[in-house]
Each structure stands twice: as C-alpha cells, then as structure tokens.
Copies of this chain bind each other. A is one copy, B any other.
C-alpha cells in the first residue's frame, strides 16, 4: 500500500508493474497477504479509530455548517458498534472464498498434441473511486488481492485521516508478504481523478462506489470501462391473480425495508383487474407505512373509491416524470397497464435495467415476462431488494452492474477476472491446416479440475445408469 503524493501517471505505472507480479502469485501467497492485513488492522484498531475521530470531528463541524450531510457523517463513523469488526471479518470472508483465478474453464483438442485451454486470470489494474466510507479501503484491498488485481483507490477527502491510518497499516502488513506494495495505491492528492480517468493505457477497469452523481461523472469522463450503475429504478408488475397477502409482503419489503437502496422499488405496475382485486390491500399497507403513492388516473380513481376516506385523502396524482425518477425515499409511482406487452414496453423504456419483478401465479405469463424484460435481474414472486451479492451467494460484492457486457447484476469476485487462451503444441503451424491439408479435430475435452464432470461418453453413461437405477428404486 503506497500512500502517495506521486503523480497519477507514476501511480498508474507502478500499479501496472505490480499487477504483473501479483498475477503470478499462488493462492496461498495471496491468502497469506489477506491474513497479514487482517491481523495488522485488528492490532491497529485504536490507531485507526483515533484517526477516524479526527475525520468525524471535522465532519461534525462541516455538518453543523451545512456543507456535509448527516448521513455522510454517519457513514464516516468506523467506531459504530460492530462496524470495525465487520470490516475485519470481511477480509477473512474474502480470503476464504474460492480462488477465482487460474481456473481452466474450457479445453479443446485442436489436433493431436495441440490443446487450447481457457484459463481465468486477473483483469490487471482497477481504479476504485469511492465516497466517505473508510471501511471500503479494507474491503476493496481484500477483493483486489484475492483476485490478483492491482488497485488504485481514491477516496473522499472527508475520510483522509482514516484512510492514511488504514493505508499505513496495510502497507506495513504487505511488506512482510509476497504481494508487492505497489499493487495497492492510495491516492489522496486533490483533483487527480480527471487525470487518473485518462490513463487507459495503465488502468483496465474503473469502479465508482457511491451515489448516482459520482457514477455519472465517472462514466462521462473516461474511456476506461466502468462497472456499475448510475440509477436504480426498479419496477414490479402486479397481476390481479396474485394473492393480496403475498403481494403486500413483497411490495412492502421492496419499497420500505431500505428505500435508499438501489434495489428499492420505485414503480408499481398493475393490470386493470388488479385495481379491484389485490391493489387496495397493497396500497393500504403502503400508506400505513408512510409511503406516498403517486397514481395514474385509473389507479387514482379506483383507489379513491375503494379505500377509506382518510387513506384516499393521502393519494396523489402522478406526473410523467414520476416514471423516470429514482425516489430513494418512501415514494412509489403506480401505473395501470392494459396488456402484458404494454408493461414490457414500459419497463424496458423506463426501468434502469437493474431489477424488475412480476407477481403472478401464471407460469406462462411470468416466463414470457422474465425473458422479455431487458434487465440485469428479473424476478418472479419475490422482492427487488434481493438483488445483492451476499444474498446471491457471492460472499461479497464489488457493486451492481447494469452494463450490457462483461458482468451484470451483483458482481462478485468473478467480475474482477477475465480469461486468457493458452495453446500448447508441438510445432504445429497454421499453414498445415485447411484446404488439402490437415483437419482440425476440435474435440471438447473435460475440464479435469472438476471431478464431478463426466470426462467421456462412457462416464456420462455411468451417470445415466445410476440415475435410472435410482428412479427405478423410487
């Protein structure tokens, strides 16, 4: 970990060189570095919290002066109960995940003694730009080292003291390991983001972790690929056949459990019959949770007549901009749709392609809908709030991507890897093949590493016969 005042170019070049050394370290060497970082940060807790206290003091003053939001001050606080321990545990959790690199994911025999393998490897150099949260530095350092990537970290200036303390501890810890310290570069100097974002020769992937404004700024300022999402406009389509109790449970969770989350529900679509079957129950529950409902004309008219007057009085008419807004608070836009294709067209045009759900008992409609909606996560009968790396079983997440290439939805360690093609031969050359020459074999070989995969037709047959036997016995 270099806590550096070097130029962005020097930082990026050093990270690039370091990344090549890191890429060839063994699983054990990378894991040992994470153990060392964990131990050093556990021992250095008082030191980090003392530095964090300085940041907090300044932040409190800024908040009083109105130049910093209270929620940002809260996010700065590493001393909050369990937060430091969670950060430490996160490092061990990442260490104990399966190694995402050096995995052979396909093998093809091109010809005798000419074998092509696809092997996972690190991407190279990551640029992580994040806002206040100082624990991100430990989290990202762990993810980067585990996946064999170098990382340049640029944090918000509000957490400068905390970063410096954490960086110096990680730096000392790394110096006892095989991971070159250039692999983690903490940049604290001001106004370097623009220059870092221009260094596409050295930086392979940029991950902004923060609000919509930060992500948009980054996306608009660089030709480096950016992994992430700017908006989280999630929708749910409620059909009239879905039981009111389940609909209420799902929609209340999606809207109320964490309205500031990118996976929170912002738009509820309903088919016309739902206006009288399940929507009234759902709307009543939402209103009782303090949710403002912005209704289109049909849903407004229908709910005004079906809800008791004290609730009906809370309903608001929607405006077109309500269907392009990420509210991030207790507000929900409601829209009535006549047909499923209308719903599909609306969602594909108005959602941010993050997470969209359908609630119905009709399997055929649901299947068609899941296929037609162009979003990173599509759900049937569950809450959009499920979109999260931990919930998906990734152990940890780098963020949630609405990109259309590379990695989509919650991104785990796999999203920080790519692959290379490894071809091993015995002096075969291209000119020997093709018209009149040798023929390509192109025989799919088993990926030896996975012992649960049948390696030839004989082994497939063994599996088949075992299954038949079991079926016959049952």
Instruction: Give the B-binding residues of A (Cβ under 8 A).
Output: 20, 23-24, 102, 108, 110, 114, 116, 123-124, 204-205, 219-220, 223, 225, 227, 246, 249-250, 252-254, 257-258, 344, 348, 368, 370-372, 374-383, 385-388, 391-393, 403-410, 418-431, 433, 440, 442, 451-454, 459-460, 462-464, 466-467
A256 to B419, CA, bound (A): 29
Copies of this chain per assembly: 2
Q: Which residue of B lies closest to A20 (CB)?
A: B348
Q: In the bound complex, do residue B463 and residue A430 qualify as a contact, i.e. CB atoms below 8 Å apart?
A: no
Q: In the bound complex, do residue A422 and residue B378 qualify as a contact, i.e. CB atoms below 8 Å apart?
A: yes
Q: In the bound complex, do residue A257 and residue B429 qualify as a contact, i.e. CB atoms below 8 Å apart?
A: yes
A287 to B403, CA, bound (A): 49
Q: In the bound complex, do residue B383 and residue A430 qualify as a contact, i.e. CB atoms below 8 Å apart?
A: yes
Q: Which residue of B lies closest to A251 (CB)?
A: B429
Collect the chain B residues with CB atoms within 8 Å of residue A258's CB.
430
Q: In the bound complex, do residue A391 and residue B430 qualify as a contact, i.e. CB atoms below 8 Å apart?
A: yes
Q: In the bound complex, do residue B220 and residue A423 qualify as a contact, i.e. CB atoms below 8 Å apart?
A: no
27 A–B contacts from the bound complex (CB under 8 Å): A110-B386, A116-B393, A204-B405, A205-B405, A219-B223, A249-B429, A252-B429, A253-B429, A254-B429, A257-B429, A257-B430, A377-B420, A378-B421, A380-B423, A380-B424, A380-B425, A382-B427, A385-B430, A386-B425, A387-B421, A391-B430, A391-B440, A393-B440, A404-B418, A405-B406, A405-B407, A408-B419
Collect the chain B residues with CB atoms within 8 Å of residue A431's CB.
253, 257, 385
Collect the chain B residues with CB atoms within 8 Å of residue A467's CB.
459
A422 to B378, CA, bound (A): 5
Q: Which residue of B lies closest to A460 (CB)?
A: B452
Q: In the bound complex, do residue A423 and residue B223 qualify as a contact, i.e. CB atoms below 8 Å apart?
A: no
Instruction: Known A-B contacts: A225-B225, A380-B424. Give 8 more (CB < 8 A).
Output: A219-B223, A253-B429, A257-B429, A387-B421, A405-B406, A408-B419, A409-B420, A463-B463
Q: In the bound complex, do residue B393 and residue A442 qualify as a contact, i.e. CB atoms below 8 Å apart?
A: yes
Give chain A's interface secondary structure class: mixed
Q: Which residue of B lies closest to A366 (CB)?
A: B424
Cβ contact of A116, chosen from B20, B205, B392, cutoff 8 A: B392
Smallest beta-carbon distance A2→chain B, Å: 20
Q: In the bound complex, do residue B377 and residue A344 qualify as a contact, i.e. CB atoms below 8 Å apart?
A: no
Collect the chain B residues with CB atoms within 8 Å of residue A407's CB.
405
Collect the chain B residues with CB atoms within 8 Å of residue A409's CB.
420-421
Collect the chain B residues with CB atoms within 8 Å of residue A386's CB.
110, 423, 425, 428-430
A205 to B405, CA, bound (A): 8
Q: In the bound complex, do residue B451 and residue A463 qualify as a contact, i.e. CB atoms below 8 Å apart?
A: yes
A116 to B249, CA, bound (A): 20
A442 to B257, CA, bound (A): 22
Smallest beta-carbon distance A8→chain B, Å: 19
A235 to B32, CA, bound (A): 35
Cβ contact of A427, chosen from B249, B388, B418, cutoff 8 A: B249
